[in-house]
A and B are shown apart, each in its own frame.
Chain A
Amino acid sequence: MYDFERVFSVRDAFPMILTREQIAGIAALARLELTPSEFPVYQESLSRIIDFVGALDACDTTDVVPMAHPLAGLSQRLRPDVVTEEDHHEQYQPNAPLTAAGLYLVPKVIE
């Protein structure tokens, strides 16, 4: 078993950083329906993860440019502005839960 308590100061008693209301807010933003029994589970584990990643605070990053891409020297490639995709909807739509006349059907959005 990796002896993580010796490497990281992960505590048994850690602060419950996130409230139940915050978990509800995050779930709403992420469009995830949670069951009542899932709330305490995610409240505890997300608090624990946020506590754990708090270890980054101690690292001095003054004047360090954030890295968004592992091959930092490379720039994003451009391609000629030409049509490369054909119409594949007949091939793609069999995977859709609900279609009619080539359209994807969803519940009414505008009243």
Chain B
Amino acid sequence: MSDFHRNTLTQLAAGLRARRFSSVELVSAFLERIEASQRSLNAFVSVTREEALTAARAADRALGAGAGGALTGVPIAHKDIFCTQGVRTTCGSRMLDNFISPYDATVVAKLKAAGAVMLGKTNMDEFAMGSSNETSYYGPVRNPWNPQLVPGGSSGGSAAAVAARLVPGATATDTGGSIRQPAALCGITGMKPTYGRVSRYGMIAFASSLDQGGVLTVSAADAALLLREIAGFDANDSTSVAREVPDYPALLEQPVAGLKIGLLREFFDEGLDRENERCVREALKVFEGLGAQLTEVSLPHLPLSVPVYYVVAPAECSSNLARYDGVRFGHRCENPRDVNDMYRRTRGEGFGAEVKRRIMTGTYVLSAGYYDAYYLKAQRVRALINADFIRAFESVDVLMGPTTPTPAFAIGAKTADPITMYLNDIYTIGANLAGLPAISVPCGFVQQLPVGLQIVGPHFSEARVLNAAHAFQRATDWHTRVPQGYA
């Protein structure tokens, strides 16, 4: 058996360029790992073996001719929310079980252009609505650290795949924590960029003012490499921002001495597991040892971020998911009596329970008589939360705290009560409401389960956030730990 999986994505890219091994060898080895673990982890919805080997052969020819981009021949996986031309794109839903995308998402096209080879599409919560990967039509993903536990969500398939070293990196999306929370629960690095930094074109919409594409990797250096390729302006996304993309990998090594770190008082609240807190506080001491300055800051409106989110996200979801009508693509019910019967049964059958719950919540808060009381009220409180963040960044460079209140929990433990499930994202939602870049990096273990440290920066400060994460990973080795059975 090869040991390619013991290398980081950055090392593999360099090895390919130096022609120490071929892309076909690399891709074959990772495909084998994916296939061997599919039954135990269920991390993939589709494995694209033939397409991957064809792309790998092309990559080897390019490398042989001295051509190729930054990622030529490097295997990756895409969360099944990204449209991939000619490949089934399900978004974890029965509604799109038969959907073959006629085009590539911008993120997919950019990674293809950089030479990356897609091995498959990863499992996820249905339409990215969930924090445990239990709402997928294709069954739950299991956490490689303990198969009885959830990997987090909604990007649980991508996170489990990277944690088990089935791929060296994967794309993901984050609407309320869907990159950072599974990264924390699976012991890997997860980067959510600034809203508008990465194109949303071809990324199936859930809540358009919150959704942002990003990456899951072993290290911050790997995240920097992938982010440089996927970031940038895209005319096909009306909220894409025309702003130069820094060379993130080149900016990783700056010292963090003098970095002003704000500890979010609201993140060290009564709900935080004491052992999780211990790991995070140890991580902060590492930064202090590197010369960073810690100060406590308070964002008084932050505790309202979960209730704000559960008005705003369902409202946008109910509008976005109105497009699934059984006419142009996706599921259609059998023998509709009339057009209304077709809409209602198509949607009743095609959507799972959590998606229906959010569509109905959104429909309610947007309906006449309730719009002002719920939706506008939530958008006003969102403005206050955003103002809290902007004020905090006047005195500190980055904010730090835990990514999640607890380590991974058991499959089935939180499915009965939606509010309990929603509170998993209590520390991550703020960055989505304000559109800020944020990363989760492994910072310790509680009962053999990984814990994540979250670093949040001002708008478009991805380089600084990645730099801080990288400095931490130079000083610690938590990110190199691999679950038993996958080492």
The residues of A that contact B347 with a CB separation of less than 8 Å are 30-33
Closest partner residue, chain B, to A22 (CB atom):
B364
Nearest Cβ on chain B to A84's Cβ, whole angstroms: 8
Taken together as a complex, chains A and B put the C-alpha atoms of A79 and B209 apart, in Å, by 21
Contacts A7-B271, A95-B99, A109-B339 known; A32 to B384 CB distance under 8 Å?
Answer: no
User: A70 contacts which of B271, B405, B434 (Cβ < 8 Å)?
Assistant: B434
The interface bits of chain A over 13-56 (1 if a CB of B lies within 8 angstroms of the residue's CB, else 0) are: 00000100011001101111111001001100110111011111
Asked if A87 is at the interface of the complex by the 8 Å CB criterion, the answer is no
Nearest Cβ on chain B to A111's Cβ, whole angstroms: 10
Contacts A3-B271, A31-B347, A46-B364 known; A55 to B304 CB distance under 8 Å?
Answer: yes
Selected interface stretch from B20-28, B43-51, B325-333: B325-333
Interface set, chain A 85-111, CB cutoff 8 A to B: 88, 91-92, 94-98, 104, 106-109
Taken together as a complex, chains A and B put the C-alpha atoms of A6 and B270 apart, in Å, by 7
Taken together as a complex, chains A and B put the C-alpha atoms of A54 and B86 apart, in Å, by 45
Asked if B433 is at the interface of the complex by the 8 Å CB criterion, the answer is yes
The reply to whether B271 and A71 form a contact with Cβ atoms under 8 Å apart is: no
Selected interface stretch from B150-158, B224-232, B251-259, B305-313: B305-313
Counting chain A residues whose Cβ lies within 8 A of the other chain, the interface size class is: 35 or more
Closest partner residue, chain A, to B337 (CB atom):
A107
Asked if B54 is at the interface of the complex by the 8 Å CB criterion, the answer is no
Nearest Cβ on chain B to A73's Cβ, whole angstroms: 9
The residues of B that contact A88 with a CB separation of less than 8 Å are 102
The reply to whether B310 and A52 form a contact with Cβ atoms under 8 Å apart is: yes
Taken together as a complex, chains A and B put the C-alpha atoms of A109 and B395 apart, in Å, by 61
The residues of A that contact B426 with a CB separation of less than 8 Å are 2, 7
The reply to whether A33 and B344 form a contact with Cβ atoms under 8 Å apart is: yes
Contacts A34-B348, A92-B328 known; A7 to B307 CB distance under 8 Å?
Answer: no
Taken together as a complex, chains A and B put the C-alpha atoms of A91 and B301 apart, in Å, by 48
The reply to whether A61 and B381 form a contact with Cβ atoms under 8 Å apart is: yes
Contacts A52-B419, A70-B386, A77-B238 known; A2 to B405 CB distance under 8 Å?
Answer: yes
The reply to whether B383 and A94 form a contact with Cβ atoms under 8 Å apart is: no
The reply to whether B344 and A57 form a contact with Cβ atoms under 8 Å apart is: no
The reply to whether A71 and B332 form a contact with Cβ atoms under 8 Å apart is: no
The secondary structure that dominates the B interface is helix
Asked if B394 is at the interface of the complex by the 8 Å CB criterion, the answer is no
The residues of B that contact A50 with a CB separation of less than 8 Å are 361, 364, 374
Closest partner residue, chain B, to A54 (CB atom):
B307
Asked if B245 is at the interface of the complex by the 8 Å CB criterion, the answer is no
Asked if A59 is at the interface of the complex by the 8 Å CB criterion, the answer is yes
The reply to whether B419 and A107 form a contact with Cβ atoms under 8 Å apart is: no
Nearest Cβ on chain B to A83's Cβ, whole angstroms: 14
Asked if B195 is at the interface of the complex by the 8 Å CB criterion, the answer is yes
The reply to whether A74 and B340 form a contact with Cβ atoms under 8 Å apart is: no
Closest partner residue, chain B, to A59 (CB atom):
B381
Nearest Cβ on chain A to B110's Cβ, whole angstroms: 19
Nearest Cβ on chain A to B378's Cβ, whole angstroms: 6
Asked if B286 is at the interface of the complex by the 8 Å CB criterion, the answer is no
User: A65 contacts which of B269, B359, B380 (Cβ < 8 Å)?
Assistant: B380
Closest partner residue, chain A, to B99 (CB atom):
A95
Contacts A1-B409, A95-B102 known; A68 to B379 CB distance under 8 Å?
Answer: yes
The residues of B that contact A59 with a CB separation of less than 8 Å are 301, 304, 381, 384
The reply to whether B367 and A26 form a contact with Cβ atoms under 8 Å apart is: yes
Taken together as a complex, chains A and B put the C-alpha atoms of A12 and B420 apart, in Å, by 12
Closest partner residue, chain A, to B314 (CB atom):
A49
Interface set, chain B 217-276, CB cutoff 8 A to A: 235, 238-239, 241, 269-271, 273
Interface set, chain B 328-382, CB cutoff 8 A to A: 328-332, 336-345, 347-349, 351, 353, 356-357, 359-361, 363-365, 367, 374, 376-382
Asked if B100 is at the interface of the complex by the 8 Å CB criterion, the answer is yes
The residues of B that contact A104 with a CB separation of less than 8 Å are 327-328
The reply to whether B380 and A26 form a contact with Cβ atoms under 8 Å apart is: no
Taken together as a complex, chains A and B put the C-alpha atoms of A71 and B383 apart, in Å, by 11
Nearest Cβ on chain A to B261's Cβ, whole angstroms: 23
Asked if B8 is at the interface of the complex by the 8 Å CB criterion, the answer is no
Asked if B459 is at the interface of the complex by the 8 Å CB criterion, the answer is yes
The reply to whether A64 and B419 form a contact with Cβ atoms under 8 Å apart is: no
The reply to whether B360 and A27 form a contact with Cβ atoms under 8 Å apart is: yes
Nearest Cβ on chain A to B92's Cβ, whole angstroms: 18
Nearest Cβ on chain A to B385's Cβ, whole angstroms: 9
Asked if B424 is at the interface of the complex by the 8 Å CB criterion, the answer is yes
The reply to whether B328 and A42 form a contact with Cβ atoms under 8 Å apart is: no
Taken together as a complex, chains A and B put the C-alpha atoms of A90 and B58 apart, in Å, by 29
Q: A4-B271, A6-B270, A32-B348 are in contact. List 7 more A-B contacts (CB 8 A).
A: A2-B424, A32-B347, A42-B357, A50-B361, A67-B379, A69-B239, A96-B327
- Some 10 contacts from A to B, beta carbons below 8 A apart, are A1-B409, A2-B273, A31-B322, A46-B357, A59-B381, A70-B195, A79-B235, A95-B100, A107-B337, A109-B338
Residues on A facing B (Cβ under 8 Å): 1-4, 6-7, 10, 18, 22-23, 26-27, 29-35, 38, 41-42, 45-46, 48-50, 52-57, 59, 61, 64-72, 74, 76-77, 79, 88, 91-92, 94-98, 104, 106-109
